[in-house]
Structure 1
Amino acid sequence: MASYKLFLIAFLVTLSSSFMINSCSAARQLLQQQPLPQIPNLPIPTMGLPPLPSTLPQPTLPTIPTSIPPLPSTLPQPTLPTMPTSIPPLPSTLPQPTLPTMPTSIPPFSMPTLPSFPTTIPSLPANFPSIPFFSPPSSTTTSSP
């Protein structure tokens, strides 16, 4: 792990020094170049803007009426609905829902019968069937002394 960090630091130092050398050589080349020619300046105009005409054509404005017509003294009133003067009475008895009847006695409950369990464990077979994949291969040749 330490060698990895050391390699990474050495790589970053090399990379940064390479960029510094390239930028220094580019700056040196810029300093050694001939100066750029001057950009010519635009001449300053000696004469100002032309004078404005002394009389401009005036637009014709529309005439505004000087008197406002009077408002009508009485406006037509809409007809309003009549408001009730008293609240109607509530019904004295509301119909009550009928409740279901509750049983007074609990029906008898019988426990279910449990299945019977064997009391003895069956014995395992003495010989198991062979599985061809797990059994060793049978020998087809006979060995000679």
Structure 2
Amino acid sequence: MASYSSFILAIFIAISFSSMNISLAARNLLQTSNPTTPTLPKPTLPPLPTVPTLPQGKVPPLPTIPTLPQGKVPPLPTIPTLPQANVPPLPTIPTLPKPTQPSIPSTIPTIPQFTLPPLPNFPTTIPITLPSFPFFTPPPSKTSP
């Protein structure tokens, strides 16, 4: 829900910045020259304090790494050979007969031709004159003269 409201806010900002007045104001700002800034005097800063020297202490030497005894590594044991199993041969797959496709006829049958009935005659011109309707006629009288 928060991403939806931020999307709506982004669309609203984009639409508001796309108005003509904002575009013209931005163009006017881009076309004007930069104003000259007045030169200000440089303030004098006090000198930085000196860093005191720290006393140098004595660091003890690093311990030496003891040497490990060099022993003889025993040889790796030999891997025994696995017995060879007698695997029966795979059975042969019987061949299937090839399917026969139906033959394609050499002649194409003719399609019967149909005749359409004639279209009715429609008027080709549209009447332009409209009949006059008495829109503003007085209401009928209640008594006869």
Regarding TM over 0.5, the answer is no
Task: Point out the structure with max Rg over C-alpha.
Answer: 1
TM-score bucket (shorter structure) = 0.3 to 0.5
User: TM (normalized to structure 2)?
Assistant: 0.41
